[in-house]
């Protein structure tokens, strides 16, 4: 049961155009996850829609939002400073939409990475108790590198990385050492056979819906261990 669904808009910064958001609030929600979309698809992408619905069934509310370039209908992402300002504004808008709910922030691919960069700069609003990354894009496909993960050392909030073993944008041989260096701040949940979009091959014997259940179960279990408002 998805519960209340409200579409709204918020301004990234004073004087700038507003962007869209979808607030999904199931009855008796225990916490709120603010979700940024990936670089090539907006907040209405099937993955985020299904994710929000599945989280709602576990009692987790969501606040999905658009980055300005996606709102304009252009294909090229905004500069990082604009993306990070959007993340911070989205968290503030989400907190206003669901007052009193413990807040987590993150997103799919680029949305998660921009959230982590915002956190590393100390620009996330207070009260975010943890970050959740659905396919952290550690590097470009075919170009393994840890450079995109260097800023994670500056993130103070607990982090949950959800990664597939076939993710071309995150070599687990590089991501695992990063998580190990982050110590208790980082948790890594590996989804066997999943790619960057969390699709699995037919021969795996699993369906995408089963993978989605695994992802949401991991988020639910991890978030239940976070003290409210802990960072």
**Torsion angle (degrees, nearest 10) of CA 94, 138, 72, 128:** 10
Separation in Å, CA 6 to CA 21, 49, 89, 132: 8, 14, 18, 23
Q: What is the pLDDT of residue 229?
A: 43
- Answer whether 73's CB lies under 8 Å from 44's CB: no
CB 121 within 8 Å of CB 135? no
* Statement: residue 113 has pLDDT above 60: yes
CA–CA separation, 55 and 189 (whole Å): 17
* Segment 115-127 mean pLDDT: 96
Reading the block at residue 53, the tokens are 């619905």
The pLDDT value recorded for residue 230 is 47
pLDDT confidence of residue 231: 42
Q: Structural domain boundaries of the chain?
A: 4-224
2-11, 112-121, 191-200: lowest mean pLDDT where? Answer: 2-11
137-191 pLDDT, tens digit per residue, is 999 999 999 999 999 999 999 999 999 999 999 999 999 999 999 999 999 999 9
- What digits encode the pLDDT tens for the residues 63-75? 999 999 999 998 8
- Evaluate whether 146 touches 178 at the Cβ level (below 8 Å): yes
Domain 4-224 superfamily per CATH:
Alpha/Beta hydrolase fold, catalytic domain (3.40.50.1820)
């Amino acid at each position: 049961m998805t519960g209340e669904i409200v579409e709204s808009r918020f301004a990234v910064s004073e004087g700038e155009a507003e962007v869209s958001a979808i607030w999904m609030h199931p009855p008796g929600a225990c916490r709120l996850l603010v979700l940024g979309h990936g670089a090539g698809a907006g907040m209405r992408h099937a993955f985020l829609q299904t994710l929000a619905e599945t989280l709602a069934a576990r009692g987790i509310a969501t606040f999905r939002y658009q980055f300005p370039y996606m709102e304009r209908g252009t294909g090229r992402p905004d500069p990082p400073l604009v993306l990070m300002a959007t993340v911070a504004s989205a968290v503030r808008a989400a907190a206003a939409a669901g007052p009193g709910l413990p807040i987590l922030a993150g997103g799919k691919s680029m949305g998660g990475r921009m959230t982590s960069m915002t956190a590393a700069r100390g620009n996330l609003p207070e009260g975010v108790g943890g970050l959740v990354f659905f396919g952290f894009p550690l590097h470009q496909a075919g170009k393994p590198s840890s450079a995109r993960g260097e800023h994670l050392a500056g993130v103070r909030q607990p982090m949950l990385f959800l990664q597939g073993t076939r993710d071309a944008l995150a070599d687990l041989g590089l991501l695992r050492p990063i998580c190990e260096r982050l110590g208790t701040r980082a948790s890594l949940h590996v989804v066997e056979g999943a790619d960057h979009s969390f699709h699995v091959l037919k021969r795996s014997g699993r369906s995408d819906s089963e993978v989605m259940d695994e992802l949401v179960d991991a988020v639910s279990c991890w978030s239940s261990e976070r003290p409210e408002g802990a960072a």
